[in-house]
Amino acid sequence: FLEKGEVEFKNVSFSYPESEVPVLQNLSFSVKSGETLAILGSTGSGKTSLFQLVPRLYDVSEGEVLVDGKNVRDYPIEALRKGIGVVPQEAVLFTGSISENISWGKEGAVQEEIVQAAKDAQIHETVLKLPNQYDTRVGQRGVNLSGGQKQRLSIARALVRKPKILMLDDSTSALDLKTEAKLLEALRKYACTTFIITQKISTAMEADHILLLDDGSIEAWGTHEELLETSPLYVKIVQS
């Protein structure tokens, strides 16, 4: 659905349709195919809003978002939705089996692919312990899963589609460091361009680029080492 998964923001500003308040202001950056971008910033700084502009859950107010050099407005919406795996901040489960929850949105996914996605999302072992494994019902009247387990199911749902661009909105917040490291390692073989909103410096350190948002603007851009040199705000976050 997408060729390479390169993403470029060109002077992007954004305010929500119902409001005049600019949420994102004049953002420019680019991420190459297969690179990882970590997005940091305090609550309300615009991280989730930025995410939503790539699969066109919202459209920019000014500027352009390009995927593989082409304005996202010029893609069929299907291509964006199928080529970009978005794992939302709040994991959503449907009433249905674990398998159905993972394969949702990917018609014709076979069990093998579902299990592989679950393994990569680090949820397979948990699923095996459930009463009916992959046939166990979740959601209303189903088994209860913890926040972290829901997050990982939601990641598996994105992975089964083999996205060219993967967007994780704080999706690893409930994972311990070891599980998160395993997950990030497993993501490598997907070779997708990855946007990861995170509060953890340990995650940001592994990324090719870090974008630090402050009140809708880019406060800093670079690698961990670069930001330690150039951004007092980043240093403050590291020390906190």
User: Measuring CA to CA, which residue among 206, 207, 195, 205 is closest to residue 228?
Assistant: 205
Give residues 58-117 in contact with Mg ion (rule: CB under 5 A).
Answer: 89
Interface contacts to ligand DUT, rule CB under 6 A = 16, 19, 23, 41, 43-49, 89
User: For residue 164, is it left (φ>0), alpha (ψ between -120 and 50) or beta?
Assistant: alpha
Residue among 23 and 109 whose Cβ is closer to ligand DUT: 23
**Given the complex with Mg ion, which of 47 and 164 has the nearer CB atom?**
47
Q: Which is nearer to Mg ion, 2 or 12 (CB)?
A: 12
> 100: which 2 tokens?
């159905």
User: Which partner in ligand DUT, Mg ion, none is near 16 (CB below 5 to 8 A by kind)?
Assistant: ligand DUT
Q: Which does 103 bind (CB under 5 to 8 A by kind): Mg ion, ligand DUT, none?
A: none
Give the dihedral sign, CA 217/6/76/83. negative
C-beta of 57 vs 79, nearer to Mg ion: 57
> What does R_g of the chain's alpha carbons equal in angstroms?
18
**Separation in Å, CA 75 to CA 55, 65, 177, 225:** 10, 11, 37, 36
* Interaction between residue 48 and Mg ion (CB under 5 A): yes
Least distance to ligand DUT, CB of residue 41, Å: 5
Q: Closest approach of Cβ 57 to ligand DUT, in Å?
A: 10
